[in-house]
């Protein structure tokens, strides 16, 4: 709670020997002091340093705000700053959000910055609150619009100053330094600073990076489950001694025979080379001669029950191959010998086992728990050289194998944001019981579900409003499967005292913290983790060096949806935005406009190019059937060749093409193909072997070997309708990547076809279902 006025308690000194009847005691309670201060109707004194009780994501803490530096920077505004602090103390309520404190504090700083700026056009000298009027307020609003045009927080800064001034005017109406109330102008609206969305190229790179990380993380989890080998400490007992002797004899059998030594002699030599062997023989009460005889009699039997008595060798500077093996041994040992680590241990034990200080205090730890020391040292010396995330996680890779850390959970979170177009608040509303947020899809309940989230922003009376997203429940990287995978990992530790009930996005936190598990709900600050995510990937187009902006991801999602043809109304429904102004906030950013401008430029360039060289050549004057009939009706071969030459001139095709088109097999599904062994569509080299026939008929519209005849038009229209339907079963980014170019090419053919009546008839036939195509356009 904010520190209120620093009022001193006043006690009246009683008179000498007062009687009980006339004795007066002044009420010096805090409530009474503040009440008397209020009756004076003057602003109390304040402190420049104040503590406020905040509750962030359900967790209570204290936020300290220090305005001393601000007073030092602007000494002439000392009185005004004290008034603003007093107003802040009156407007801040206990257990408010940390964001409220930060926005109010920044609002005061920005207001002082405005008063000292050349952009302050009010021409009013402000020393106290009574100098703030509608002209100053309007000038402040304009200053925020011009200085912070793309910062959506500017409206919160403006609202903070307005709230402070109005509250003090309400509480102290007779204080001359406060002034009278006035009608405040409209501040910088929430749509003034539009969020610049990421370009689809950047979105594609983010998607690819998420998928790459998710596959690696899942493999890391699976590898942990398969770990079986472990580190061993030095252990000399009778069985292990026999194992040591047996290995020594086997390894050096050739040398022993060459030197003509007996087994007994070689055993004595091995024992004398190992001081610990001699020590254990003495402890067990044997002599060397007795051990020699025992080995001859039962050596193989005893050795089979033992192991090498030496500890696993741990390298301090391993190469990568050795580091991987060493790390896995340490991790496997934790799995088998320390199964309670760290989620079921007391906090001090959990934090101490892999503490870096234990490597330095080796003598103490080695004596106390030799195996724990070996695990600590093996992981400490190898964790930075393993392949998993290039060793960037360090020892946290141990927790990433068993659970999640923030860096391994974030790719799942980011891809879910991209898939849904939700804001962070909505995605964080999904609990650790994912199916409680899911209902069957009415259209296709076998393959799809509807995921339900919620949000407060944009809803009335601070109540939650629903957001929904359709998701394929069988696709590994669709939203439902992403959520279910995260749930499957975290709920393994549901009985841990550190588990966060109700939170899905849980992860293990570093040993420097005071807990074992946290969640994105409690630590919703993604700047550092998203920055590390971008640093791990070699992006070509994505260039946001400060990390990933989730509002930009949301705007990037909208850009892709626009390119897919969604209207403003459909986008509003998609994003659960009820008013037009909200959706304009997403569709008016420069990124979206830039994408659309690029698309227009590409269309213009393609139009000029297509005037002289169509990607797909159009033949409109005659149908394929009539062309074949005209040539096949020829009575002689000479007449047939003559007709072929005539038709080639007529249609601007070479004679070989005409001959090829006579073969009915040259037409597959939609278009006719001049030469299936020589495709030209983008990327064909990766799919069609050299000298092989192309069977990717969905790529015909992008290939220069294809020729369009009039009877193909209904099939083209049908293909376009099929692609439109596929939008419902794919995420926006996935659909654009798979079908965007093909979709544009088919539409281009119909757009450039001269006979518009044929195009109209083609659409009617397609919509009425007279033509049918397979959705996977590949032949045999």
* Mean pLDDT, 10 residues at a time, the chain of 780 residues: 33 39 48 55 79 76 89 90 90 84 91 88 84 88 84 86 90 84 78 62 88 95 94 88 88 85 87 87 89 88 88 89 94 94 90 66 60 90 93 94 96 92 91 94 87 70 75 90 96 96 93 82 84 92 86 76 52 48 40 46 47 46 54 64 65 55 49 81 82 83 81 85 83 77 86 85 84 65
> 482: alpha, beta or left, given left = phi > 0 and alpha = psi -120 to 50?
alpha
Burial of 687 (0-12, 13-18, 19+ CB in 10 A): middle
Spell out the alpha helix ranges (H) of 619-701. Answer: 624-632, 637-650, 655-661
CB 533 within 8 A of CB 209: yes
**HSE-CB for 525 with a 13 A CA cutoff:** 5
Question: Would you tell me how many other CB atoms lie within 10 Å of the CB of residue 3?
Answer: 13
CB 256 within 8 A of CB 266: yes
**Rounded-to-integer distance, Cα 719 and Cα 40, Å:** 80
pLDDT of residue 546: 81
**For residue 622, what are the contacts with CB-CB under 8 A and spacing of at least 6?**
630, 651
Residue 43: which of 160, 166, 176, 132 has the closest Cα? 176
Q: How far is C-alpha 486 from the geometric centre of its chain's CA atoms?
A: 13
pLDDT at 406: 95
Angle at 433 between CA 428 and CA 439, to 5 degrees: 90
Could you tell me which residues come within 8 angstroms of residue 630 by beta carbon, excluding any fewer than 6 positions away? 622, 643, 647
The single-letter DSSP state of residue 290 is: H
Parallel, antiparallel, or unpaired for β 438-440 and 448-455? antiparallel
pLDDT at 161: 92
Determine the Cα–Cα distance for residues 416 and 434; give it in Å rounded to an integer.
Answer: 13
Look at the alpha carbons of 728, 733, 735, 740 in this order and tell me if their dihedral is positive or negative: positive
**Using CA atoms, how far apart are residues 205 and 538, in angstroms rounded to an integer?**
10
Q: 768-777 as b/e, with b when 16 or more CB fall inside 10 Å?
A: eeebebeeeb
Tokens coding 567:
């209207």
pLDDT of residue 33: 54
Measured N-to-C along each axis, helices 406-420 and 550-563 cross at an angle, to the nearest 10 degrees, of 30
In angstroms, the CA 315 to CA 421 distance is 48
pLDDT reported for residue 516: 93
How many whole angstroms separate alpha carbon 84 and alpha carbon 86? Answer: 5
**What gap in Å lies between CA 432 and CA 502, rounded to an integer?**
5
Q: Which residues contact 592 (CB under 8 A, 6 or more apart)?
A: 197, 555, 558, 559, 562, 586
Helix (H) or strand (E) holding 607: helix 590-612
Please give the Cα distance from 462 to 153 (Å, whole number).
19
Cβ–Cβ under 8 Å, residues 766 and 721: yes
Contact 465, 458 (CB under 8 A): yes
Number of Cα atoms under 13 Å in the Cβ half of residue 396:
20
Backbone φ and ψ of 61, nearest 5°: -160, 180
Torsion of CA 582, 583, 589, 591, to 10 degrees: 140
Structure tokens at 742: 């093909």
pTM above 0.85, yes or no: no
The count of C-alpha atoms lying within 13 angstroms of the C-alpha of 59, restricted to the half-sphere facing its C-beta, is 11
Could you tell me if 47 and 88 are in contact, meaning their C-beta atoms sit under 8 angstroms apart? no
Phi, psi of 600 (to 5 degrees): -65, -45
β-pairing verdict for 438-440 and 59-66: unpaired
- Which DSSP letter does residue 443 get? S
Rounded to 5°, the CA angle 474-480-485 comes to 90
Alpha-carbon distance of 763 to 759, in angstroms, equals 6
Give the list of residues 6+ apart from residue 402 with CB closer than 8 angstroms, or none: 224, 335, 508
φ, ψ dihedrals at 667, nearest 5°: -100, 125
């Amino acid at each position: 709670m904010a520190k209120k006025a620093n009022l001193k308690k006043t006690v009246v000194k009683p008179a000498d020997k007062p009687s009980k009847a006339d004795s007066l005691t002044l009420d010096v309670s805090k409530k009474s002091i503040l009440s008397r201060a209020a009756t004076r109707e003057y602003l109390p004194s304040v402190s420049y340093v104040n503590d406020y009780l905040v509750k962030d994501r359900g967790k209570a803490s204290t936020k300290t705000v220090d305005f001393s530096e601000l007073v030092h920077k602007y000494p002439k505004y000392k009185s005004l700053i004290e008034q603003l602090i007093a107003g802040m103390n009156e407007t801040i309520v206990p257990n408010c959000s940390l964001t409220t404190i930060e926005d109010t504090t920044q609002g005061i700083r920005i207001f002082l910055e405005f008063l000292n700026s050349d952009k302050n056009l009010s021409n009013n000298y402000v020393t106290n609150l009574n100098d703030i009027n509608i002209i100053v307020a309007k000038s402040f609003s304009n200053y925020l619009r011009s200085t912070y045009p793309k910062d959506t927080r500017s409206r919160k800064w403006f609202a903070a100053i307005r709230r402070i001034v109005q509250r003090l005017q309400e509480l102290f109406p007779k204080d001359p330094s406060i002034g009278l109330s006035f009608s405040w102008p409209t501040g910088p609206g929430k749509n003034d600073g539009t969020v610049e969305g990421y370009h689809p190229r950047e979105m594609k790179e983010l998607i690819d990076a998420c998928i790459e990380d998710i596959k690696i993380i899942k493999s890391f989890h699976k590898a942990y489950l398969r770990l079986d080998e472990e580190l061993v400490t030095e252990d000399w007992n009778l069985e292990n001694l026999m194992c040591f002797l047996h290995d020594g004899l086997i390894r050096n059998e050739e040398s022993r025979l060459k030197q003509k030594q007996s087994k007994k002699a070689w055993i004595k030599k091995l024992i004398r080379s190992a001081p610990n062997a001699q020590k254990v023989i003495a402890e067990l009460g044997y002599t060397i001669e007795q051990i020699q005889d025992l080995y001859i009699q039962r050596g193989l039997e005893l050795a089979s029950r033992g192991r090498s008595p030496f500890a696993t060798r741990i390298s301090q500077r391993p190469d990568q191959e050795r580091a991987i093996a060493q790390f896995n041994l340490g991790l496997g040992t934790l799995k088998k010998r320390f199964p309670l680590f760290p989620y079921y241990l007391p906090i001090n034990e959990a934090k101490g086992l892999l503490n870096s200080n234990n490597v330095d205090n080796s003598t103490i730890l080695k004596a106390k728990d030799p195996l724990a020391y070996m695990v600590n040292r093996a992981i400490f010396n190898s964790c930075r050289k393993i392949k998993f995330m290039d060793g960037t996680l360090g020892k946290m890779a141990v927790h990433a194998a068993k659970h999640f850390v923030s860096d391994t959970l974030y790719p799942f979170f980011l891809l879910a944001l991209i898939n849904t177009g939700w804001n962070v608040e909505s995605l964080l509303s999904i609990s650790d019981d994912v199916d409680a947020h899911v209902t069957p899809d009415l259209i296709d309940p076998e393959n799809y579900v509807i995921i339900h989230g919620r949000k407060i922003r944009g809803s009335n009376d601070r109540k939650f409003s629903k957001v929904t997203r359709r998701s394929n429940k069988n696709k590994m990287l669709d939203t439902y499967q992403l959520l279910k995978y995260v749930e499957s990992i975290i709920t393994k530790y549901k009985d841990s005292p550190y588990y966060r009930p109700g939170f899905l996005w849980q992860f293990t936190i570093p040993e420097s913290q005071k807990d074992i598990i946290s969640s994105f709900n409690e630590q919703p600050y993604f700047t550092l983790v998203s920055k590390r995510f971008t640093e791990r990937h070699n992006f070509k187009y994505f260039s946001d060096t400060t990390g990933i902006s989730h509002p930009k991801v949301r705007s990037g999602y909208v850009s892709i949806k626009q390119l897919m043809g969604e209207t403003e109304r459909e986008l509003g429904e998609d994003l659960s935005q009820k008013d037009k102004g909200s959706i304009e906030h997403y569709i008016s950013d420069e990124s979206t406009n830039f994408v659309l401008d690029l698309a227009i430029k590409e269309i213009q360039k393609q139009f000029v190019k297509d005037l002289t060289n169509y990607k797909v050549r159009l033949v409109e004057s005659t149908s394929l059937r009539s062309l074949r009939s005209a040539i096949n009706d020829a009575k002689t071969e000479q007449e047939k060749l003559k007709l072929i030459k005539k038709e080639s001139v007529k249609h601007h095709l070479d004679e070989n093409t005409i001959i090829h088109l006579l073969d009915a097999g040259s037409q597959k599904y939609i278009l006719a193909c001049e030469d299936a062994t020589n495709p030209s569509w983008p990327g064909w080299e990766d799919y069609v072997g050299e000298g092989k026939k192309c069977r990717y008929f969905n790529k015909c519209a992008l290939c220069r070997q294809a020729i369009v005849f009039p009877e193909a038009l209904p099939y083209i229209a049908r293909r376009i309708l099929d692609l439109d339907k596929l939008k419902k079963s794919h995420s926006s980014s996935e659909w654009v990547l798979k079908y965007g170019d093909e979709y544009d090419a088919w539409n281009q053919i119909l757009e450039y076809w001269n006979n518009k009546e044929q195009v109209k008839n083609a659409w009617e036939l397609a919509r009425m279902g007279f033509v049918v195509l397979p959705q996977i356009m590949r032949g045999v």
